């Protein structure tokens, strides 16, 4: 089951051909980046006009920690009632720390954040969706800069603990997680459009001209007016459900029940790699 929020959409979606899939943990940004074959920071940067020239960019995801029994549950920005004013306050609060390190935190669409660096950090932290599911790590990530990166994350948490930001939203921000790095071409060569019509919704959903990726629980906000895009990919309940549009030889199934075999992430990537194919993300 993806999410009970789909109950109101059952009649509309059950007539669409669909395929159930599973793979690594994803949020809409990481999943859309996977589909178009770019780093998450590259995809987010494509929605941010007039970014300054930096050697490397990271997605900076603000999080709030909730103690739940014997673990800390992490809530990302779409679930924090996050607003543009919150992003601006966080940028101002952390500017002294990042300025000393040759870094710059900038605002993206819907309050999302990117961190630019004046050098390329040699570190490979886990993507945010994995951290959201498994919790914060207790050891540095792989890479020559892993130790320095871990200390930076700790300094950010300490700065926010000592002097939090004034929030328009409801809960405090306890830290940020940097992930999905992208290093622009140092020669300044144009890299082309990532996805025509790319926009990012307040719910975190990612939309392009012919497709939409989002969380199943946010389906009402993702589909205003009840219009279902040509290709729709919804994540929830540890599964993905792909509605490929017309022409794909898949059965029509109830979107609230799997009702058949479950494919893997490789199958989805195979479709994405075939522009113009039936069901592909062209």
The residue among 223 and 116 whose pLDDT is bigger is 116
Query: Is 94 within the bounds of a domain?
Result: yes
Q: Note down the domain range covering 175.
A: 39-182
Same-domain check for residues 12 and 63: no
pTM here is 0.86
Query: How far apart, in Å, are the Cα atoms of 69 and each of 72, 162, 198, 262?
Result: 8, 25, 40, 32
Token couple for 10: 């059952």
Most confident of 137-146, 208-217, 221-230: 137-146
Q: Give pLDDT, residue 277.
A: 43
| CA 165 – CA 263 distance, rounded (Å) | 44
Helix/strand/coil for 263: strand
**72-80 average pLDDT score:** 77
Query: Is 278 within the bounds of a domain?
Result: no
In the chain, the number of structural domains is 2
| pLDDT for 162 beyond 90 | no
Query: Is 188 within the bounds of a domain?
Result: no
Token couple for 235: 């994540």
**205-232 average pLDDT score:** 83
Q: Which residues contact 50 (CB under 8 A, 6 or more apart)?
A: none
pLDDT over 70 percentage in the chain? 83
Per the CB < 8 A criterion, the answer to whether 209 and 196 are in contact is yes
| CA 280 – CA 172 distance, rounded (Å) | 41
Per the CB < 8 A criterion, the answer to whether 245 and 230 are in contact is yes
Q: How many CB atoms are located within 10 Å of the residue 148 CB?
A: 14
The residue among 134 and 179 whose pLDDT is bigger is 179
| CA 183 – CA 56 distance, rounded (Å) | 4
Same-domain check for residues 11 and 61: no
Query: How far apart, in Å, are the Cα atoms of 79 and each of 62, 221, 232?
Result: 10, 13, 22
Q: Which residues contact 176 (CB under 8 A, 6 or more apart)?
A: 60, 61, 62, 63, 90, 94, 113, 115, 153, 156
Same-domain check for residues 258 and 203: yes
Same-domain check for residues 69 and 158: yes
pLDDT tens, 78-115? 677 788 888 899 999 999 999 999 999 999 888 889 99
Task: Identify the H or E element spanning 135.
Answer: none
**182-195 average pLDDT score:** 71
Per the CB < 8 A criterion, the answer to whether 205 and 234 are in contact is no
pLDDT tens, 168-177? 657 788 999 9
What sections of the chain are H helices per DSSP? 10-13, 28-36, 40-46, 84-99, 128-134, 146-162, 219-222, 265-272
| CA 263 – CA 241 distance, rounded (Å) | 10
**61-70 average pLDDT score:** 84
Query: Is 100 within the bounds of a domain?
Result: yes
Query: Is 126 within the bounds of a domain?
Result: yes
Q: How many CB atoms are located within 10 Å of the residue 102 CB?
A: 12
The rounded Cα 200 to chain-centroid distance in angstroms is 10
| pLDDT for 266 beyond 50 | yes
Residue 202 — very low, low, confident or very high, per pLDDT cuts 50/70/90?
A: low
Same-domain check for residues 84 and 15: no
pLDDT tens, 242-259? 887 655 545 555 555 555
Last residue of a domain, one of 136, 152, 182: 182
């Amino acid at each position: 089951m993806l999410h009970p929020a789909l109950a109101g959409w059952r009649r509309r979606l059950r007539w669409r051909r669909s395929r159930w899939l599973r793979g690594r943990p994803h949020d809409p940004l990481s999943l859309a980046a996977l589909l178009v074959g770019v780093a998450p920071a590259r995809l987010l940067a494509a929605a941010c006009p007039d970014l300054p020239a930096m050697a490397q960019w990271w997605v900076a995801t603000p999080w709030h920690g909730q103690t739940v029994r014997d673990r800390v549950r992490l809530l990302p920005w779409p679930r924090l009632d996050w607003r543009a004013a919150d992003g601006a306050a966080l940028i101002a609060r952390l500017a002294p720390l990042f300025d000393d390190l040759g870094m710059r935190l900038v605002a993206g669409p819907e309050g999302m954040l990117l961190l630019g660096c004046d050098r390329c950090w040699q570190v490979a932290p886990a993507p945010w969706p994995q951290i959201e599911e498994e919790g914060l790590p207790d050891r540095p990530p792989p890479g020559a800069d892993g130790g320095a990166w871990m200390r930076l994350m700790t300094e950010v948490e300490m700065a926010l603990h000592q002097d939090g930001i004034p929030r328009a939203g409801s809960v405090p921000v306890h830290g940020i997680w940097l992930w999905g790095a992208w290093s622009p071409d140092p020669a300044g060569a144009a890299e082309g459009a990532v996805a025509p019509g790319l926009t990012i919704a307040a719910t975190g959903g990612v939309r392009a001209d012919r497709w939409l990726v989002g969380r199943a629980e946010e389906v009402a906000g993702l589909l205003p007016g009840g219009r279902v895009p040509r290709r729709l990919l919804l994540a929830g309940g540890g599964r993905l459900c792909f509605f490929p549009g017309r022409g794909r030889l898949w059965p029509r199934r109830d979107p609230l029940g799997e009702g058949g075999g479950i494919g893997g992430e490789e199958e989805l990537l195979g479709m994405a790699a075939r522009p113009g194919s039936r069901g592909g993300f062209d």
